[in-house]
Amino acid sequence: MSILDLVSEPDLFVVCKNCSSEVSPYVTECPYCGQRVRKRAPKIERGHGEVELGKRRRPRAPTLPRLRRGEIPGIAAETRPYATGVLVLASLAVTIAHVSGVSFDHLGAITSFDHGWWRVVAAPFVYNNAGTEFVCLVAIAIFGTHLERRFGPAALVGTFLLCGAAGAALAIVVHSYPAIGGNGAALGLLAAWLVDDRLALRRGDDRGNDMLGVWVIGALLLLVPVGDTDVSFFAGIGGAAAGALIGAVLSPMRA
């Protein structure tokens, strides 16, 4: 060790001038007699290597891998609801097309029986009211995500299309015109999820879901035709009935 290193290193102790006791160089007052040793304690400097070592040893936040399908019974796999997002974006795209000048007739609105059965698939994507679209798409996003994570994207898309078509078809049969909007598809997804949840409870699988929110969303979807005359009440009833049937068929498959 060189002389320069010895000079640069701090003293191990200092001597109190009042009581001649050896005290730490990092205190300002003698702990034995109370005499002031220095005005301020010297700053403790850490070497560059110690700082880097401290940074390297800093613990990282714990992370868990994604839950795989079937890893924990009764718990859905952690998958991204891409199919649900596509359905929501498709409705928004149709709305943008209408705002851009495309007529409801060309987009698939149901205004009479003579316009073709292809409209039963297209009508659930057509909206003429921002409030109706918001309520329906929020419900589709919520329950579509739950169904997709439990049964997969194909089951989710099939349920949406079948429930929407069933509701639109019932509106045509009872001559409830006009009939546009996804209230039937949204109620179908809600009903399918609800039936699966109740059947799971009967099997002893209590998932602890908050049912109050489910009933509130269901009531809003049923009351949408009150504030929007372009939406058919029968389309909602038909979609809910189809969804309940599909939920009863799908639920045992994931028991």
Please name which of 238, 143, 246 lies closest in space to residue 195, comparing C-alpha atoms. Answer: 246
pLDDT tens track for 71-123 = 554 455 567 899 999 999 999 999 999 999 999 889 989 887 666 788 999 99
pLDDT of residue 1: 46
Beta bridge partners of 110: 179
* 50 φ, ψ (degrees, to nearest 5): -65, -40
Please name which of 247, 115, 103 lies closest in space to residue 168, comparing C-alpha atoms. Answer: 115
Query: Does 115 map to a domain?
Result: yes
Query: Does 30 map to a domain?
Result: no
Query: Does 97 map to a domain?
Result: yes
Q: What is the pTM of this model?
A: 0.70
Residue 56, pLDDT above cutoff 50: yes
Q: How confident is the model at residue 6 (pLDDT cuts 50, 70, 90)?
A: very low
CATH number of domain containing 200: 1.20.1540.10
pLDDT of residue 71: 54
Query: Does 133 map to a domain?
Result: yes
Query: Does 140 map to a domain?
Result: yes
Ordered alpha helix ranges (H), 123-177: 130-151, 153-173
Query: Does 131 map to a domain?
Result: yes
By the 8 A CB rule, do 167 and 123 touch? Answer: no
10: left (phi over 0), alpha (psi -120 to 50) or beta: beta
pLDDT of residue 7: 45
pLDDT of residue 253: 84
Query: Does 105 map to a domain?
Result: yes
How is residue 112 written in tokens? 């009479």
Q: How many structural domains comprise the chain?
A: 1
Query: Does 54 map to a domain?
Result: no
Q: Can you give the residue range of the structural domain that contains 167? A: 82-254
Q: Mean pLDDT over all residues of the chain?
A: 83
pLDDT tens track for 174-203 = 999 889 999 999 999 999 999 999 999 888
Beta bridge partners of 22: 15
Pick 254 or 143 by higher pLDDT: 143
Please name which of 217, 199, 197, 219 lies closest in space to residue 208, comparing C-alpha atoms. Answer: 197
